[in-house]
Amino acid sequence: MRALISVWDKTGVVDFATRLSGLGWEIVSSGGTAAALAEAGVPVLAVEDVTGSPEILDGRVKTLHPRIHGGILADRSKPAHLASLDEHGIAAIDLVVCNLYPFRSDPGPELIDIGGPAMVRAAAKNHGDESGGVGVVVDPADYEPVLEELAASGGAAAGGLSAATRRRLARAAFAHTAAYDAAIVSWLDEPAAGDTAGGADADESPEPAPLPPTVHLALERVDECRYGENPHHRGARYRPIGELTWWDHAYQHSGLALSYLNFFDADAAWRIVHDLGDAEGSAAVVIVKHANPCGAAAGDDLAGVYQRAYDCDARSAFGGIVAFNKIVDLDTVERIEAAAQADLIIAPGYEDGVVERLEAKRRNTRVLEAPRPDEAGVSLRQINGGWLVQSPHTFASAPDGWQAVTQRKPTASELADARFAWRVCGHVTSNAIVLARDRTAWGIGAGQQNRVESGRLAAAKADGRAAGGACASDAFYPFGDGVEAAAAAGVAVVVQPGGALRDDDVIARANELGLAMLFTGERQFRH
């Protein structure tokens, strides 16, 4: 039995080859792998001794040869294939152990592997059936189970791997090459150095980059969810193969295992709290329920910020996700202990003693510590029979570019309230209305079929606490009734995209009500 071993990641390969040789297998290898095995005293036959041809083109061509691929691809169940091997003096290869150049580490042409994927795919194609076939190993984690099975079967004298194992390994091999190709396609989709999306000048805001003609997803399962969206569903977290996300660096101090919705809502809360904190340049706290913020506040004192975020909607905060963009201190944990229990708390860190107090008083609350969220990529959403893809969610307009369209202009404090309300509103499911004052979202109306109902919900939740503050609407007001609802809530300024056919009527109504109104020029729908 002959094995071809050619790996970039040499983790465990010397021990694997040593034990494989001890089972009676002949080892063929190339390049650095052959050198490493020979140095360790493993009997190894160089690829060039098999092919009769030296490596050429700086190693770009070494295994691309009939004596290699013929040995891999011969169908052992076909006498004609076996006769062809004999005719050309080619020895069959029964096991291919190969992993590829680390393209993601430094993307570029020199790390695009050619011979490796060719060998992996050839072996996986020929994994065969009960009559025999080729095994292929692309993951060092499979070295031990493969060795155990070969040893149990009696070594080289008795044959190779079972059909079930070869099939499992073949699937892993094709997943490996698919992920590799997907990484290369993603790299080729990136703009070349010096390019600007949409041809924008250097002093202009660039247009979103065009979406690629194809999208290639290669994902690996890394976390089993406690359950799916409901207990009778199964769920899991996947990530792009070979890439680590902030979730992979998060640490759960305590609490139950995460469910599908815990992941979903915590991810939303973590993105929102950092966006809000960065925009405000201060501490921020966001409480999320069903992917929507039900409380949001910013300020200098974390304990006070948490209290205001919780007081926004204490009823909805029960069982929610609480996200902090600063280290949770002992003063803040005292406020948490006095509030309704959260399902999950996530923060960049905790002062000494905080986690222990949370474990004692909030035994079932999941306590997570995590780095900043990753930069957002394109958004994908599955629909029946396909996918919708769009560029990442952003805030394109800056407050200094907003247009004051009413007779009364906002004061400095009103403008600050408008900026805060608009930022929160951009993260709320449409139709969205946010009433805010003093960097606190006192009223949030989300997910209604009309804007007036969202405004009434926001006003009821605010209960007068946003008086003198701001009202943000994620899309334009088509009629004056939405502005009337904002005025009834007592706000002093309304911020909205503008662009309705009846903008003049809406502005006139705002003037009659004594409101200031700002147009952002951008819509912030989220569905």
Query: How confident is the model over 439-451, as pLDDT tens digits?
Result: 999 999 998 888 8
Mean pLDDT of 52-81: 81
Give the residues across from 5 on adjacent strands: 29, 97
**Highest-confidence range of 107-111, 238-242, 515-519, by mean pLDDT?**
515-519
Helix axes 115-125, 163-189, angle to 10 degrees: 150
What values do phi and psi take at 25, rounded to 5? Answer: -85, 145
Given 10, 81, 216, 290, which residue is catalytic?
A: 290
Nearest to 455 by CA among 424, 485, 479: 485
Mean pLDDT of 449-467: 91
Residue 64's pLDDT is 77
Given 125, 253, 274, 326, which residue is catalytic?
A: 125
Is 253 part of the annotated catalytic residue set? no
Residue 141's pLDDT is 92
Q: Reply yes or no on whether the pLDDT at 316 is more than 70.
A: yes
Residue 218's pLDDT is 86
Q: Give the Å distances, CA to CA, from 422 to 124, 281, 290, 292.
A: 54, 16, 20, 15
pLDDT tens, position by position, 323-351: 999 999 999 999 999 999 999 999 999 99
Q: Reply yes or no on whether the pLDDT at 399 is more than 90.
A: no
Residue 99's pLDDT is 87
Instruction: Dig out the tokens for 450 from the structure.
Output: 């009309």
pLDDT tens, position by position, 28-38: 888 888 889 99
Mean pLDDT of 232-241: 92
Q: Reply yes or no on whether the pLDDT at 130 is more than 70.
A: no
Residue 53's pLDDT is 79
Do 2-187 and 400-519 agree at the fold level? Answer: no
Mean pLDDT of 36-64: 82
Please provide the average confidence, as pLDDT, over all residues in the chain. 89
What is the distance between the alpha carbons of residues 493 and 422, in angstroms, rounded to a whole number?
Answer: 12
- Label residue 286 left, alpha or beta by phi (over 0 means left) and psi (-120 to 50 means alpha): beta
Q: Reply yes or no on whether the pLDDT at 63 is more than 80.
A: no
Residue 131's pLDDT is 63
Q: Residues of the chain with pLDDT > 90: what percent? A: 54
**CATH code for the structural domain at 2-187:** 3.40.50.1380
Residue 216's pLDDT is 85
Residue 240's pLDDT is 87
What is the distance between the alpha carbons of residues 508 and 514, in angstroms, rounded to a whole number?
Answer: 10
Is 290 part of the annotated catalytic residue set? yes
Q: Reply yes or no on whether the pLDDT at 128 is more than 90.
A: no
Q: Of 34-48, 84-98, 147-161, 211-225, which gets the smallest average pLDDT?
A: 147-161
Residue 174's pLDDT is 92
In a 10 Å sphere around its CB, with 0-12 CB exposed, 13-18 middle and 19+ buried, how is residue 501 labelled?
exposed
What is the distance between the alpha carbons of residues 13 and 35, in angstroms, rounded to a whole number?
Answer: 12
**CATH code for the structural domain at 243-369:** 3.40.140.20
Mean pLDDT of 191-209: 55
Confidence at 235, pLDDT banded by 50, 70, 90: very high
Confidence at 188, pLDDT banded by 50, 70, 90: confident
Residue 156's pLDDT is 55
Domain segments of the chain: what residues?
2-187, 243-369, 400-519
pTM value surpassing 0.75: yes
Mean pLDDT of 237-259: 92
Confidence at 203, pLDDT banded by 50, 70, 90: very low
Of the two residues 362 and 367, the one the predictor is more confident about is: 367
CATH topology (fold) of 400-519:
Cytidine Deaminase; domain 2 (3.40.140)
Residue 286's pLDDT is 98
Residue 202's pLDDT is 45
Mean pLDDT of 56-66: 78
Residue 65's pLDDT is 84
